[in-house]
Structure 1
Amino acid sequence: MGFALSTALHTSFDDALARTREALAEQGFGVLTEIDMQATLKAKLGEDMEQYVILGACNPPLAHRAVEIDRQIGLLLPCNVVVRADPGADGDVLVEAMDPQVLVDVSGEAELRPVADEVAAKLRAAIDSL
């Protein structure tokens, strides 16, 4: 089983990042965290890499339902969405989100499946709209 929902865009990195934020918002997700891996690795390690941003996305009603089922599920929240330049295809940007079914698999909590299904549908809709 794969663990990502993804698409490739032929656009600028900044455009892909902005479109991803908009698509997530349209599906009820807010971005709680943003990690610029390129800048962080350069500043902390002196290492270069392609543009790579991790967005921590949260849909509050769905997160609440999940935490009500299993308090430890917060260890796996928020949903990470990665926007990254494709090093193998100049001009392409990859947008990837963790498949929420992984939460069910990792936790072993079958009651989370309907919540994970709903989150997955919303993330797929966001990614498909790009």
Structure 2
Amino acid sequence: MDIALPTSMQTTFADALARTRDALAKNGFGVLTEIDMKATLKAKLGEDMEDYVILGACNPPLAHRAVTLDRQIGLLLPCNVVVRADPDDAATVIVEAMNPQLLVEVTGEPALRAVADEVTAKLQAAIDSLHTKVPKT
């Protein structure tokens, strides 16, 4: 099983990040956390890396259903979505959402399958929408 629902975009990092946030919102996800790995690693370790942001995305109704089925599932929430510059191609930004099917695999809780399927469909729709042309205003 793949751990990610991936795509890549030929755009700037700032545009990819903004479009990813918008795509998540349009599919019922709020961004609860944001970790700027580039800034954090530079500040804490003095290390340089490409643009890399982790968004902690949550769909409250689906998170509630999952936590109701398995209280420990909170250890795996929110769903992480990574927006990162491709270190091998400066014109490409990679967007990867955590594969929600991992929730079922990690916990072994078959009752989570329906929730994971719904989260997968919504995250995949968000990822797929990143390839839709955005009208210029």
Q: Give the TM-score category using the shorter length.
A: over 0.9
* Deviations 1:30-53, CA, capped at 9 Å, x for gaps: 000000000000000000000000
Per the normalisation by structure 1, the TM-score is 0.99
User: Hey, what's the Cα distance between the residues in 1 that align with 2:62 and 2:129?
Assistant: 20
Equivalent residue for 2:114?
114
Which residue does 2:134 correspond to in 1?
none
Q: CA RMSD in A?
A: 0.4
Please give the residue correspondences for 1:100-111 in structure 2 after superposition, counting only pairs within 5 Å.
100-111=100-111
Following TM superposition, where does structure 1 have runs of at least 4 consecutive aligned residues deviating by more than 4 angstroms? none
**Unaligned 5+ residue runs, structure 2?**
131-137
Q: How does 1:1-130 map to 2 (within 5 A)?
A: 1-130=1-130
TM-score by length of structure 2 reads 0.94
Between the two proteins, the alignment pairs up a number of residues equal to 130
- Return the offset for 1:89: 1.3
Rounded to whole Å, the distance in 2 between the matches of 1:45 and 1:66 is: 36
Report the identity percentage.
Answer: 77
> Within 1, Cα distance between the matches of 2:94 and 2:25?
19
The AA in structure 2 aligned to 1:57 is A
Structure 1 unpaired stretches of 5+: none
- Shift of the alpha carbon at 1:90? 1.7
